[in-house]
Amino acid sequence: MKKEWMVSGIVVCLLVVLIGAGWLVRDRFLPVEVGTVAPSFPATDLVGEPVTLEDLRGEVVLLNIWATWCAPCREEMPSMQRLHERFGDRLRIVAVSVDAPFGRIDPGGNQGGNVEAFAQEMGLTFDIWMDPSGEIQRLYRTTGVPETFIIGRDGVIVRKHLGPAEWDSPANIDQFERLLEG
């Protein structure tokens, strides 16, 4: 009888430890969806300065994850530029490149692109950040590129969009205007 109680006690202790460990790492497994706080991530801007999403708290943000080798990404960039020209600094557009460093190959076999040359070629004047480690993809659990997250002033994701979009369409402009007003 004493042995059974000891085994039961050990099992209960193990369960408590496992539940506690799961609770501590729950953010690694929960989906990044509408209604969740947008995770911060390490990146650099085009001049190599460190940047973070936390610095943008209080702003409405269009966070786009892309790569230079991605044809759909190339297709949607002009609409993001037009959106930037329409809203200026009121709407923060941040396009995070997950390209490998220029001249290297990423784990998926894609050639690293020259992000700065790409931005110049496309005439992009909104924020371009770089995350060659792809940490943002792991944190946001993306399935590919492009993927875009619209983030409210409180840091909460209000929309998740997979694939390219025409970001300056009337429906998208209406959504951004509502977010910027409220």
pLDDT (tens digit, 9 = 90+) per residue, 60-102?
999 999 999 999 999 999 999 999 999 999 999 999 999 999 9
* Residue 118 to residue 33: CA distance in whole angstroms: 30
Rounded alpha-carbon distances, angstroms, from residue 179 to 10, 143, 152, 172: 52, 26, 7, 11
Is the pLDDT confidence value at 7 over 80? no
Tell me, what's the pLDDT at 180? 97
In degrees and rounded to multiples of 5, residue 174 shows phi and psi of: -60, -45
Tell me, what's the pLDDT at 76? 98
pLDDT per position as a tens digit, 146-158: 999 999 999 999 9
Tell me, what's the pLDDT at 11? 64
